[in-house]
């Protein structure tokens, strides 16, 4: 066989690169398809239109077990269950002529099948729809009349892994019906390094809620880690700024039982990046 020309070698390399790219693209498509499958794990009401679908791993989630209450400048559940795990959130829209009760019962019947109802409310007993939409879910599209809303929180008993579902339904002022469905698979990982609670650096409300529920005389360490993509000095300054901001948000009553530690960008992997970790100070 004669020597191959340089142009022939380039063509072969290009074909190999194309095949590799095609395999990678197929993997991405399969990943996206599995995400859509997760969103469609329940039968959908006729005419349902998926407006938004999100997935996030190791999310800190506050499952509401009661109505919302005003705390400082924020709204938080009077009673809640803190869960960390993988979250998928779907937002659906329905036509203006659809009956709220029909839609609610359609999804409710599926959610309560082999499940334990943790909390359920309808109408004004749920409290402020504006608070649920804008403060709890951070989605203005869920805001509607207080009398039209429905909320359901269940724990699935059929799965080997703890799984929770939350449904919120309301009719907007424009007349169309919007439904939010959150599904959470609780993490099975054991807590590392005695970390009691961990969340993002911007989730100050979650930190305050955790400390408020744990106010039993215990003392805690709060470890703050910042972004690795900066100098050590900048990361440390950012950590100090975040700690001072967190102190102001928590208030004197909660701060007095906390020792704050600034990890900058030198945190061990368990403490993450741009994270707040709470440990028991024994």
Asked if 75 and 166 sit in the same domain, the reply is yes
Among 185, 114, 180, 109, CA closest to 151: 180
Predicted confidence (pLDDT) per residue in 50-78, tens digit: 999 998 877 778 899 998 887 666 777 88
Q: Which domain holds residue 106?
A: 44-186
69 and 115, same structural domain? yes
**132 CA to centre of own chain:** 15
Do 48 and 149 reside in the same domain of the chain?
yes
Q: Residue 32 — pLDDT band, cuts 50, 70, 90?
A: very low
pTM of the model: 0.58
Segment 90-113, tens digit of pLDDT: 999 999 999 999 999 999 999 999
Q: Let me know whether 18 and 70 are in one domain.
A: no
| Whether 240 contacts 262, CB under 8 Å | yes
- pLDDT at site 268: 79
Beta-bridge partner residues of 55: 88
Last residue of a domain, one of 163, 186, 209: 186
Domain termination site, one of 152, 186, 220: 186
Q: Are strands 220-225 and 258-264 parallel, antiparallel or unpaired?
A: parallel
Q: Which residues pair with 61 in a beta bridge?
A: 83
33: Cβ contacts below 8 Å, ≥ 6 apart: none
Of 98-107, 180-189, 228-237, 252-261, the one with minimum mean pLDDT is: 180-189
Q: DSSP E strands: which ranges in the chain? A: 49-64, 68-71, 74-77, 80-94, 115-122, 150-156, 163-171, 177-186, 195-200, 220-225, 258-264, 275-280
> How many domains, the chain?
3
pLDDT classification of 215: cutoffs 50, 70, 90: low
């Amino acid at each position: 066989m004669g020597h191959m020309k340089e142009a022939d070698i380039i063509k072969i390399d290009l074909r190999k690169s194309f095949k590799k790219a095609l395999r990678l693209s197929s993997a991405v498509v399969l990943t996206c398809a599995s995400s859509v499958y997760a969103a469609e794990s329940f039968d959908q009401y006729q005419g349902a239109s998926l407006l938004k679908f999100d997935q996030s791993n190791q999310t800190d989630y506050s499952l509401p077990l009661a109505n919302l209450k005003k705390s400082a400048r924020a709204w938080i559940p009077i009673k809640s269950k803190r869960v960390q795990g993988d979250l998928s959130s779907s937002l659906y829209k329905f036509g203006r002529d659809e009956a709220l009760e029909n839609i609610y019962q359609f999804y409710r019947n599926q959610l309560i099948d082999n499940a334990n109802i943790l909390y359920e409310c309808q109408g004004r007993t749920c409290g402020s729809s504006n608070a649920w939409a804008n403060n709890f879910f951070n989605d203005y599209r869920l805001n509607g009349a207080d009398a039209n809303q429905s909320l359901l929180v269940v724990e699935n008993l059929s799965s080997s892994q703890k799984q929770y579902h939350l449904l919120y339904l309301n009719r907007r002022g424009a007349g169309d019906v919007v439904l939010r469905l959150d599904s959470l698979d609780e993490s099975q990982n054991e807590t590392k390094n005695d970390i009691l609670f961990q969340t993002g650096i911007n989730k100050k409300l979650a930190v305050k809620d955790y400390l408020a529920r744990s106010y039993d005389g215990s003392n805690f360490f709060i470890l703050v880690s910042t972004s690795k993509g900066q100098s050590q000095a900048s990361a440390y300054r950012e950590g100090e700024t975040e700690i001072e901001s967190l102190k102001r948000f928590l208030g004197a009553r909660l701060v007095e039982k906390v020792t704050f530690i600034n990890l900058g960008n030198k945190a061990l992997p368990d403490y993450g990046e741009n994270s707040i970790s709470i440990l028991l100070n024994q």
